Amino acid sequence: MSTQGAASTDFSIQVTFEMLSQACCLPIVRATVAQLAATVGWTESETRCITMAVDEALANVIRHAYHGRTDALIQMHCRAGEDQLEIRIRDTGDAPDISRICAREVGCDRIGGLGTHIIRDVMDTVSYESRQDGNWFTAVKRLRRQG
Amino acid sequence: MTISVRESGTAQVVEVEGDVDLGTSPNLRRTLFDLMNKTPKLAVNLQKVRYIDSSGIATLIEVLKSTQRLPMEFVLFGLSPAVQNAFRLTHVNRIFRIVDTEEQALTPA
């Protein structure tokens, strides 16, 4: 993991992870994302939601892009600014099937699709892109300050 | 995540503590399915759960659906703020029988 002050004035903290596709890495990422979200200014409850959304995105990579392989590489870039958090995750596994993403009915007892529902519900913008250098997941959450 | 199981009358009470995520939810699934058919009531205490992800929630849904095919009851109690948050996000509150205390959980529905 590396941390640095950003050259851009839009983002004051940037954190980059390079990790293997192993579930044991997830608690470390969650702790960092929670700290970043709290630093930007989200409440404890909102921070929990954001942390969960990011965790679900990584879990999707491990499960669906890498099919449980534990030796593949995941890169994650977190950028926290005055009023937003941007998360970018790159993998080189199978590309996501966009047509199947978030096809879950809210409140039903179907088991699949919960993670993607959480990501869509929590983050303001979510995008998936398959490029030559891998699959990119990008999500942004903006802080709405009151008053 | 740590899991402990104890008997309370005819029920089995499962205490879950820590993080229930992609890495640990298979252990919870194994424990709950092992208890299936061995008790008329399975009560799960989620008070000390610090984090639960969609794989943990999916495990609970899977257990619920299996118990519905059996003469047994599945009840969750003492939901921690993290669990409440995750359940609210995924709108699964109304799927489960959820109560506040163990005493309520062990009372027949």
Mean pLDDT, chain A, integer: 90
**b/e burial code for range B45-61 (CB count within 10 A of at least 16 → b):** bbeebebbbbbbbbbbb
Stretch A67-74: mean pLDDT, rounded? 97
Stretch B23-34: mean pLDDT, rounded? 97
Stretch B24-47: mean pLDDT, rounded? 96
Task: Measure in Å the smallest separation between the Cα of A106 and chain B Cα atoms.
Answer: 6
Tell me how far CA of residue B6 lies from CA of B10, B11, B69, B83, B88, in angstroms: 11, 9, 23, 22, 29
In a domain, A21, yes or no: yes
Number of domain units in chain B:
1
Query: Residue B4 pLDDT > 80, yes or no?
Result: yes
Q: Do A24 and B19 touch (CB under 8 A)?
A: no
In a domain, A11, yes or no: yes
Query: Residue A95 pLDDT > 60, yes or no?
Result: yes
Q: Which of B33, B16, B45, B29 is nearest to B106 (CA)?
A: B45
Whether residue B92 lies within 8 A of chain A, CB to CB, comes out as yes
User: What ipTM, to 2 d.p.?
Assistant: 0.91
Q: What proportion of chain B, given as a percentage, has pLDDT over 70?
A: 100
By residue range, what is the domain housing residue B64? 2-106
Q: Do A49 and B85 touch (CB under 8 A)?
A: yes
Query: Residue A65 pLDDT > 60, yes or no?
Result: yes
B57-106 pLDDT tens trace: 999 999 999 999 999 999 999 999 999 999 999 999 999 999 999 999 99
CATH code of B24's domain: 3.30.750.24
B11 backbone dihedrals φ, ψ, rounded to 5°: -95, 160
Distance CA B86, CA B57 (A): 8
Other residues' Cβ atoms within 10 Å of the Cβ of residue A116:
22
In a domain, A147, yes or no: no
Of the pLDDT bands very low, low, confident and very high (cuts 50, 70, 90), residue A103 is low
Q: Do A59 and B90 touch (CB under 8 A)?
A: no
Distance CA B8, CA B75 (A): 14
CATH code of A41's domain: 3.30.565.10
* CB-nearest partner of B85 from A22, A45, A117: A45
**Comparing A113 with A67, which gets the higher pLDDT?**
A67
A114-141 pLDDT tens trace: 899 999 999 999 999 999 999 999 999 9
Whether residue B84 lies within 8 A of chain A, CB to CB, comes out as no
Q: Which of A43, A104, A114, A122 to mutate to test the interface with B (most CBs of B within 10 A)?
A: A114
In a domain, A105, yes or no: yes
Task: Look at residue A128 and give its three-state secondary structure.
Answer: strand
Number of domain units in chain A:
1
Whether residue A33 lies within 8 A of chain B, CB to CB, comes out as no
Of the pLDDT bands very low, low, confident and very high (cuts 50, 70, 90), residue A104 is low
Whether residue A121 lies within 8 A of chain B, CB to CB, comes out as yes
Per-residue pLDDT, A109? 67
By residue range, what is the domain housing residue A18? 2-142
For residue A30, give the chain B residue with the closest CA.
Answer: B51
